[in-house]
Homo-oligomer: A and B are copies of this chain.
Amino acid sequence: MNNINSIGYEISFQNSLNQLISFIDNSSYTKFFILTDEITTVHCLPALEVRLVGRTYDLIEVSAGEECKNLDFCIGVWKMLIDFNADRKSLLINLGGGVVTDMGGFIASTYKRGIDFVNVPTTLLSQVDASVGGKTGVDLDSIKNIIGTFTQPKAVFIAHEYLSTLPERQILSGLAEMLKHGLIKDQAYWNDLKNSDLSLPSAELVYRSVEIKNEVVIADPHEKGIRKALNFGHTVGHAVETFSLDNDKRSLTHGEAIAIGMVCESWLSCKKSGLSQNELDEIVGVLMRLYPKYNLQLERADEIITLMRKDKKNEGNKINCTLLVSIGNCLIDQICSEDELRESLEFYAGL
């Protein structure tokens, strides 16, 4: 598995923690900072620390969880960087899941108008999604990633070994994005996934997922067009995720919410963009087998639709979806009415 070339930087897969050490040793940064959360400090930092012996760095730890991905935590980290006298030639190493890589990327891209950062994604979700594409961001008022920048990391190091530290639910969360990559762009990959043991996806399957995402991102770094393909499942999914974060004691993971979103948007695809009934049945079958059924409260569908209206992807009050034409092919910028979106939620609830 060769390194993948992205927009001005490489994504490493083989011996990638050692590649990170080489990257550090061959660089001219004045200082190194590692951003972790309380979970990655325990499970992922040790493998890095043994390799960093003899090198100087400072550690900045934040609390774990999506509810910490906000400006208050950014301010805390910015103040620590100031206290540590981080200058413009410092490097921030983001070691963690999507919360750490998204927030750390935003912190780095705005501290002193931008310092360099690298990502070491430690969850399956962040390996196949957040770590590639240059989107940084934090939430505000429960709206996901509403504040952020497009800034590319200087390198990404994907260590498959970290996946064995994850609970099953975290694996399933990342798997939703992998399945999405197959659905929007590569039917053969979808079939591979369908027929694999998915309790711990192989390094090769992870690699292919990153390849697909990277191809899309390179073609359209700032999401003016084709990159919107990656939003399949996310118009409904993000809204359901936010609703769950605000209302459920044990809230949905990102992937669980996106799986629901993909079911709903596949139904919309069948209704609006030519997806066949057979393929809809196949997609729904796979997703409902892998993900537990969520108790979607239809009497509160209006609240979920209000959240969809606030989605960054919309333009001029219209709700925008990416829909499938067939497995492996999609159409961006498909306007859906509120009635259609409500019906798609009813379809899910009725399964």
Which residues of A pack against B, CB within 8 Å?
A: 30, 71, 75, 78-79, 82, 85, 87-89, 106, 109-114, 135-137, 140-141, 143, 145-150, 222, 309-310, 312, 314-317
The answer to whether B140 touches A79, judged by C-beta atoms less than 8 angstroms apart, is yes
> Which of B82, B88, B135, B147 touches A310 (beta carbons < 8 Å)?
B82
- Chain B residues positioned under 8 Å from A315 (CB to CB): 30, 87-89
- Chain B residues positioned under 8 Å from A316 (CB to CB): 30, 87, 89
Question: Bound complex: CA of A114 vs CA of B82, how far in Å?
Answer: 25
What are 28 inter-chain pairs, A to B, with CB distance below 8 A? A30-B316, A71-B71, A75-B140, A78-B147, A79-B140, A79-B141, A82-B140, A82-B143, A82-B310, A85-B309, A85-B310, A85-B317, A87-B312, A87-B316, A88-B312, A88-B315, A89-B315, A106-B110, A110-B148, A110-B149, A111-B146, A112-B146, A112-B148, A113-B137, A113-B145, A113-B150, A114-B149, A149-B149
Question: Bound complex: CA of A315 vs CA of B140, how far in Å?
Answer: 33
> With A110-B148, A137-B113 known to touch, is A71 a contact of B82 (CB < 8 Å)?
no
> Which of B110, B137, B146, B309 touches A147 (beta carbons < 8 Å)?
B110
Closest to A137 in B: B113
- Chain B residues positioned under 8 Å from A112 (CB to CB): 146, 148, 312
Closest to A150 in B: B113
Q: A82-B143, A110-B110, A110-B149 are in contact. List 12 more A-B contacts (CB 8 A).
A: A30-B316, A75-B140, A78-B146, A78-B147, A79-B140, A82-B140, A85-B309, A88-B312, A89-B316, A113-B136, A113-B148, A113-B312
Copies of this polypeptide in the complex: 2
- Chain B residues positioned under 8 Å from A71 (CB to CB): 71, 75
Question: Bound complex: CA of A74 vs CA of B261, how far in Å?
Answer: 32
- Chain B residues positioned under 8 Å from A309 (CB to CB): 85
Closest to A310 in B: B82
- Chain B residues positioned under 8 Å from A75 (CB to CB): 71, 140
> Which of B30, B79, B114 touches A150 (beta carbons < 8 Å)?
B114
Top-7 shortest CB links A-B: A30-B316, A112-B312, A113-B148, A87-B315, A110-B147, A113-B150, A89-B315
Question: Bound complex: CA of A143 vs CA of B86, how far in Å?
Answer: 13
Closest to A143 in B: B82
Question: Bound complex: CA of A136 vs CA of B316, how far in Å?
Answer: 27
- Chain B residues positioned under 8 Å from A30 (CB to CB): 315-316
- Chain B residues positioned under 8 Å from A114 (CB to CB): 149-150, 222
- Chain B residues positioned under 8 Å from A140 (CB to CB): 75, 78-79, 82
Question: Bound complex: CA of A135 vs CA of B136, how far in Å?
Answer: 19
Question: Bound complex: CA of A136 vs CA of B75, how far in Å?
Answer: 17
Closest to A140 in B: B78
- Chain B residues positioned under 8 Å from A145 (CB to CB): 113
Q: Smallest CB–CB gap between A117 and chain B, Å? A: 14
- Chain B residues positioned under 8 Å from A310 (CB to CB): 82, 85
Question: Bound complex: CA of A326 vs CA of B85, how far in Å?
Answer: 33
- Chain B residues positioned under 8 Å from A78 (CB to CB): 140, 146-147
Q: Smallest CB–CB gap between A166 and chain B, Å? A: 28
Question: Bound complex: CA of A217 vs CA of B106, how far in Å?
Answer: 25
